[in-house]
Amino acid sequence: MTDIAFFRLPGGRAWIGQGPFESFAEAPAGGGVFYVNDFDLTDAKPWKKPARLIEVAPETLATTTGWNGAQPPHIQWAKPATEWFKMAFRRIRREVLARRLEKMVPVLTESGTITEGDPVRLLERVMSAPTNTWGYGWVNAQGGYLGATPELLFRLQGQTVETMALAGTAKPGDQAAFLTDVKEIEEHEIVVRYLTDRLSTLGQVQREPRGLCQTTGLLHFQSHLRVTLERPSEPGALVKELHPTPAVGCLPREEPWLARLREYRSQLNVPGFFGAPFGFIEPGEIPTCHVVVAIRGMSWAGNQAQLPSGCGIVGGSAFDHEWRELRLKRESVIAMLGL
């Protein structure tokens, strides 16, 4: 099978990149290149230029890729155990209550067995995911990952950087209580403050009022932010400046806490793609660069599948509430992928 990279914009425009891919440390001129890395940004050459780039639409996706006769997958999911996650939750909450830490996002991963079919066919579902999400995918013969995320890390067009804080979660039916929920608002505003601090070193930051974002079965607080850069910036440098935000990482974003987060992620077998930046630079003279946060997706290696979800822990977090939120997030992915 040819290696594949996939990116779909909220408006529906989408691109398939077919390998082999050439890797670069900095984005090459002319666009038509993907940004692929893991959560810890371990790939020093994350810009991947495909041998062939094709703009695709829902009706042309299957014919363009061929899928080599692959059938949609069946996956048997196993209920996740609580104990390791509960331990991480308690330790994080203790640090928050002691005011050493403001927020951290542990991740729980549900595992599954692919009993038949090929997950690559799920790209068709990602292609038709809700229009306020960005579709992403990275697939090779051994495995891959894909999903549809509502979270933009940044969009860079000329000197303008747009980003968003997306944090705070409820079920769509609970909207009235959500709007005044102090704990959810705090969880959200921590992300806004972080982004404002980071971006204000680059130029003057404008923030829009806190609003709502509804995706498959979930409601979030969302705030848009924008800055006009005082000096030009390379998109790879912006990734390093902003990632990980406290919507998927921790605050303070300092090495000892990042090390703790990595420790929890490894204990809880979190796949490397989860919460990582994934991006695409549109082809063209003055290309727009889109980098999103890879959440609301699944990964696989051979016949083993992983379905991760994370939740922000702050002082007011309660275990049962967070456990339910993690389940709602995974159910939203299952529904979006039609699994």
Ligand X SMILES: C=C(O[C@H]1C=CC=C(C(=O)O)[C@@H]1O)C(=O)O
Residues forming contacts to ligand X in the complex (CB under 6 A) are 105, 151, 166-169, 220, 247-248, 295-296, 309-312, 329
CA distances for 195 relative to 12, 52, 74, 331, angstroms: 27, 35, 40, 29
| Distance in Å, CB of 254 to ligand X, minimum | 19
Q: Which is nearer to ligand X, 33 or 313 (CB)?
A: 313
Counting DSSP H helices and E strands in the chain, the numbers are 8, 19
Q: Which is nearer to ligand X, 43 or 181 (CB)?
A: 181
| Distance in Å, CB of 137 to ligand X, minimum | 17
Q: Which is nearer to ligand X, 165 or 202 (CB)?
A: 165
| Distance in Å, CB of 121 to ligand X, minimum | 23
Q: Which is nearer to ligand X, 247 or 250 (CB)?
A: 247
- State whether residue 252 is helix, strand or coil: coil
Cβ(90)–Cβ(318) below 8 Å: no
Q: Which is nearer to ligand X, 91 or 327 (CB)?
A: 327
| Distance in Å, CB of 167 to ligand X, minimum | 4
| Distance in Å, CB of 166 to ligand X, minimum | 5
Tokens coding 148: 């549809």
| Distance in Å, CB of 312 to ligand X, minimum | 4
Q: Which is nearer to ligand X, 186 or 282 (CB)?
A: 186
| Distance in Å, CB of 184 to ligand X, minimum | 7
Cβ(172)–Cβ(219) below 8 Å: yes
> H or E element: which one contains 138?
strand 134-139
CA distances for 280 relative to 143, 162, 183, 241, 271, angstroms: 21, 15, 34, 18, 21
Residue 202, beta-bridge partner list: none
Using the Cα atoms of residue 44, residue 48, residue 49 and residue 51 in order, give the sign of their dihedral.
positive
Cβ(145)–Cβ(122) below 8 Å: no
Q: Which is nearer to ligand X, 220 or 226 (CB)?
A: 220
Contacts of 41 (CB under 8 A, 6+ apart): 239, 240, 243, 276, 277
Q: Which amino acid is at 251?
A: L
Q: What is the DSSP letter of 240?
A: H
Chain position whose Cβ is nearest to ligand X = 310
Q: Which is nearer to ligand X, 220 or 265 (CB)?
A: 220
| Distance in Å, CB of 295 to ligand X, minimum | 4
The C-alpha atoms of residue 134 and residue 10 are separated, in whole angstroms, by 5
- State whether residue 153 is helix, strand or coil: strand
The C-alpha atoms of residue 93 and residue 86 are separated, in whole angstroms, by 10
